[in-house]
Chain A
Amino acid sequence: MERDWGVAGSGQYQLSELQNIEAQSIHIIREVAAEFERPVLLFSGGKDSVVMLRLAQKAFWPGRIPFPVMHIDTGHNFTEVLEFRDRCVTEIGATLVVASVQHSIDSGRVAEEAGPNPSRNRLQTRTLLDAINEHRFDAVFGGARRDEEKARAKERVFSFRDEFGQWDPKNQRPELWSLFNGRHRSGEHIRVFPLSDWTELDIWQYVVEEQIDLPSIYFSHRRHVFRRDGMLLAVGPHVSPRDDEETFEATVRYRTVGDMTCTGAVESSASSAEDIVIEVAASRLTERGATRADDRVSEAAMEDRKREGYF
């Protein structure tokens, strides 16, 4: 498909909103590649990381992406997403590093939560920080967007982390224009968020325009689910309903793909990215509000996790 670059030539030289944020994201990614020794891109197979990977491809085309991608595998991931992850990475010829929460548990770095359906969401932080140390990564690209959550809304594009991987929201570096400051000492690192200015709707419109492939669970399908805390959880190897929770089959899709134990499905018949654009535009709930138990712990759950070094 021939791309329409705004109205170049007509004397207006105006980019569309998506082209504008795309150009900024590419700029950010190139700055990191140029200024850091060992960047890595966090890739989960979720829509944001898939878009981020596409932007990285664009930034260096026709060259290859000059850094590896890393997945923090909780061991509770959807099979469809893992398969998609591997296919994607092979297709573009990137190097994949997998850091496993199971491994962190087995080696005694963290302990599994007690209870019948333990979530490994919080444990991921240790695995992530250990992997950053082990590989001496100095810049870590994350696909977080500021529209997702109120603590994320406060974060810089280049977000400094101390030697403990901590974020200090009350003392962030000023960040002016597009002049990013990635200076740090050994042991410290910078989290970089190229999708800061993208909204959920932007992501889906981009998926449509760019014809980007996504894991099948984003699109409507039939699944055995049960209701917990107002969310629809899928019945699977790591999640099972309690006696008082009734299982039923429903037509659902996922708005975010995270850990199976804390990511809920939404009832939806949207079977294409075009359908989803329409659905998202009309939605009255944020994607995390609709589907993530990990944010429901307290008002500041995300801020607290981020301070500890979470994504």
Chain B
Amino acid sequence: MELLRLATAGSVDDGKSTLIGRLLFDSKAIFEDQLESVERVSRQRGDEYTDLALLTDGLRAEREQGITIDVAYRYFATPARKFIIADTPGHIQYTRNMVTGNSNADLTIVLVDARKGIVEQTRRHAFLASLLRVPHILLCVNKMDLVGYDRDVFESLREEFAAFASRLDVADLSFIPISALQGDNVVQRSVNMPWYEGASLLHHLEQVYISSDRNLIDPRLPVQWVIRPQAASRLDYRGYAGRVAGGVFRPGDQVMVLPSGLTTTVAGIDTFDGPLDEAFPPMSVTIRLDDDIDISRGDLICRPMNQPTVGQDLDAMVAWMTERPLAPGDFLALKHTTRWVRAVVRDIHYRLDVNTLHRDESATSLALNDVGRVSLRVTQPLYYDSYRRNRQTGSFILAAEDTDVTAGAGMLLGPD
């Protein structure tokens, strides 16, 4: 069975949590005790109907305020696929939680309230999803019940969003008119919108083609851990454990190890379940090499004819996620693949206005929730690809050196 990771996006009250609740409810993925608990809480609060958003808004504060504060993960499966859903908050002050939920998504559902239309948060979230390079974006025009299931409302929002999205980097964009509350086009096709001829949301999620979304071209294995069993029977064993971040490795392949630049061949690919003929993303494996070369955590195994960029001067789009602004001269801890290094901010080139996508080149810092283009210098060379080419070797996080909190997320820019 295949796995699809999806995340929600869109402004507060556009119906994200209700939609996820409806999806789970109509696909019979809700357990009786969960439903009873949600019904009880709804009754106690005096809701007119059972609030399905309570299925994901599980924290005390969320229930008291009727909002989503942090990502909730929910799981369900149909005979076709297993789904991991990240339901994210719409408030601007919780943008970092939206980014958290979307960073691993294969597909983002952007919700819009049919009455309110496309607002700043819709654009911000669609922009962030495209920046994170979520391969599939699905715009759901929600609350169609409140606009009389009017086709024109849907068509005009679709046009408006498509025009905005054409300026983003979106590989696949689709549109569905729905009512999360009533269930129209969520699991079943709606009888109220005969003019809509596309698939229901669930059907779309089951069908969308996801296998082309990984990099199978550039072999990359960031070394996580060196396995050296202290057992008499395996005294000479040396394995390099890690998760394949790109490409395919096979025994006999000629490989290069960075930073040393030494070349050797793959002697074998080991797992607890036996040796492998091929290792590809996102497998966690252990590679043995023919020659005894000095390799430690943070090194990278690649191919001599296909090497990543090596450098200390980085150019990246950075999403800033903490109150203290980011400014030139700031020192931060940076984690890239399996390495922590120190970084200093050299320059803030521009800040992006999420509404207009205008580049404000006069910006001298990035505030909480800003996104901008930043140059950094790091203490040791990194072996990286552009984020566009490889989500694993092209991303990094920044942590504050004093408080240790995760303060920023970076997507590396490169020649391609």
Contact = CB atoms under 8 A, between A and B. Distances in A.
Interface of A: 2-3, 5, 8-9, 12-17, 19-24, 26-27, 30-31, 33-34, 57-64, 146-147, 149-151, 153-154, 156, 169-170, 172-179, 181, 183-185, 196-197, 199, 201, 283-286, 289-290, 299-300, 303
6 contacts: A2-B274, A20-B3, A64-B230, A150-B58, A177-B104, A177-B392
Given A31-B338, A173-B406, A183-B333, A12 B225 contact: no
Contact of A284 (B31, B273, B274, B335): B31
B211 interface: yes
Given A153-B58, A284-B32, A3 B274 contact: yes
Contacts, number: 198
B395 A64 contact: no
A183 B399 contact: yes
B335 A181 contact: yes
A23 B243 contact: yes
Contacts of A27: 224, 243, 282, 284
Interface stretch (B69-77, B112-120, B304-312): B69-77
A14 B74 CA distance: 23
A67 B319 CA distance: 36
Contact of B321 (A5, A174, A285): A174
Contacts of B227: 60-63
Interface string B42-61: 00000000000000101111
Given A17-B2, A27-B224, A30-B241, A146 B282 contact: no
Chain A, interface SS category: loop
Contacts of B60: 299-300, 303
Contact of A14 (B97, B211, B229, B404): B211
B59 A169 contact: yes
A23 B405 CA distance: 26
**Size class of B's contact patch?**
35 or more
B405 A177 contact: no
A293 to B, nearest CB: 13
B243 A154 contact: no
A268 to B, nearest CB: 16
Nearest to A158: B406
Contact of A196 (B73, B74, B228): B73
B333 A176 contact: no
Contacts of B63: 299
B234 A176 contact: no
Contact of B396 (A2, A62, A150, A179): A179
Nearest first, the 3 A-B pairs at minimum CB distance are: A150-B58, A289-B33, A183-B404
A184 B404 contact: yes
Nearest to A25: B284
